[in-house]
């Protein structure tokens, strides 16, 4: 298949709804497991860890979109970025809910006290809080109201969020000296942020070769 054909498949009207459904598979798995008692001896832990892992995975997936689009020229991928970004938020909400409800018994005072006592949890919470403005400005009218440049600057927060999420995960695993999985996420996130930094450095010395011009896109998808 050539590039145009792949682009056509990606642009098929059914592609986005399919992706939307595919992203719900992890959630469906926990619900199914909950009803069938197959979430293991400690279902709360399974859900808490699962929602956390999927938040981190969706973060990696959404950060892949722009470099992959630039590298392959599959511009249709840009259409998926917002959906994937919102799924980062969706799973982070589930992760926070699992923590607040299953671990803290939905007691706000207990949550506040716990966050104050455990920097590990606080870092995760901070990443979650930073996701809120991104999710809140994800619709077209917000982008228009803010202006593309400001919107893009705000949405660069995702890099900080990714690093905080990684720190949160590293900190959890550090207590048991299990670094193998952390290393995989660190390499992926580090690589994806590194690619952006590299492109920026490449573009910087010569103001004439502004990359924006070459990759001209509708304003809401130019942010990388």
Partner 1 sequence: LPGNRSAVPGAMVMDKPTAYADASTYNNFYEFGTDKADPARNAGKLQTRPWTVAIEGEVKKPGVLDLEALLKLAPMEERIYRLRCVEGWSMVIPWVGFSLAELVRKVEPTGNAKYVEFVTLADPKQMPMVGSRVLDWPYVEGLRMDEAMHPLAMLAFGMYGEVLPNQNGAPVRLVVPWKYGFKSAKSIVKIRFTDRQPGTAWNKAAQQEYGFFSNVNPEVDHPRWSQATERRIGEDGLFAKKRPTLMFNGYGPQVASLYAGMDLRKFF
| Interacting residues toward partner 1 by CB under 8 A | 34, 40-45, 47, 101-103, 105, 107, 114, 117-120, 171-172, 175-178
Q: Which is nearer to partner 1, 12 or 117 (CB)?
A: 117
**What is the smallest separation between the CB atom of 47 and partner 1, expressed in angstroms?**
8
Q: How far is the CB of 97 from partner 1 (least distance, A)?
A: 11
Q: Give 66's contacts (C-beta < 8 A, 6+ positions apart).
A: 78, 81, 196, 223, 224
Which residue, 7 or 114, is less far from partner 1 as judged by CB?
114
Residue 55, CA distances (Å) to 83, 84, 171 in order: 14, 11, 16
Nearer to partner 1, 3 or 28 (CB): 28
Closest to partner 1 by CB, 55 or 66: 55
Q: How far is the CB of 13 from partner 1 (least distance, A)?
A: 39
Pairwise CA distance, residues 200 & 213, whole Å: 14
Measured from the CB of residue 58, what is the shortest distance to partner 1 in angstroms? 23
CB neighbours (10 Å) of residue 114? Answer: 17
Q: What angle do CA 194, 196, 198 make, to 5 degrees?
A: 70
Which residue's CB is nearer to partner 1, number 141 or number 176? 176
Name the residue with tokens 């409800």.
Answer: 101
Tokens of 13: 């009207």
Angle at the Cα of 156 from the Cα atoms of 25 and 165, rounded to 5 degrees: 50
Distance of closest approach, residue 158 Cβ to partner 1, in angstroms: 26
Token duo for residue 30:
């926990």
Of 115 and 158, nearer to partner 1 (C-beta) is 115
CB 56 → partner 1: shortest distance, Å?
17
Buried b (16+ CB within 10 A) or exposed e, 126-138: bbbebbeebeebb
């Amino acid at each position: 298949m050539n590039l145009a054909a792949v682009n056509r498949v990606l642009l098929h009207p059914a592609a986005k709804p399919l992706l939307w459904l595919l992203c719900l598979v992890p959630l469906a798995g926990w619900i199914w497991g909950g009803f069938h008692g197959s979430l293991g001896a400690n279902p709360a832990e399974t859900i808490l860890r699962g929602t956390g892992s999927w938040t981190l995975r969706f973060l990696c997936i959404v950060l892949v979109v722009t470099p992959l689009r630039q590298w392959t020229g599959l511009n249709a991928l840009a259409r998926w970025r917002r959906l994937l970004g919102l799924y980062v938020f969706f799973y982070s909400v589930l992760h926070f809910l699992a923590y607040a409800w299953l671990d803290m018994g939905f007691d706000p005072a207990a949550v506040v006290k716990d966050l104050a006592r455990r920097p590990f949890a606080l870092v995760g919470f901070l990443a979650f809080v930073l996701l809120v403005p991104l999710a809140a400005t994800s619709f077209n009218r917000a982008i228009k109201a803010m202006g593309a440049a400001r919107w893009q600057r705000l949405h660069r927060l995702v890099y900080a969020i990714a690093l905080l999420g990684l720190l949160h995960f590293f900190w959890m695993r550090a207590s048991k000296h299990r670094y193998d999985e952390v290393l995989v996420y660190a390499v992926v996130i580090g690589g994806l942020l590194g690619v952006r930094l590299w492109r920026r450095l490449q573009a910087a010395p010569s103001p004439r070769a502004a990359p924006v011009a070459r990759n001209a896109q509708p304003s809401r998808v130019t942010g990388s």
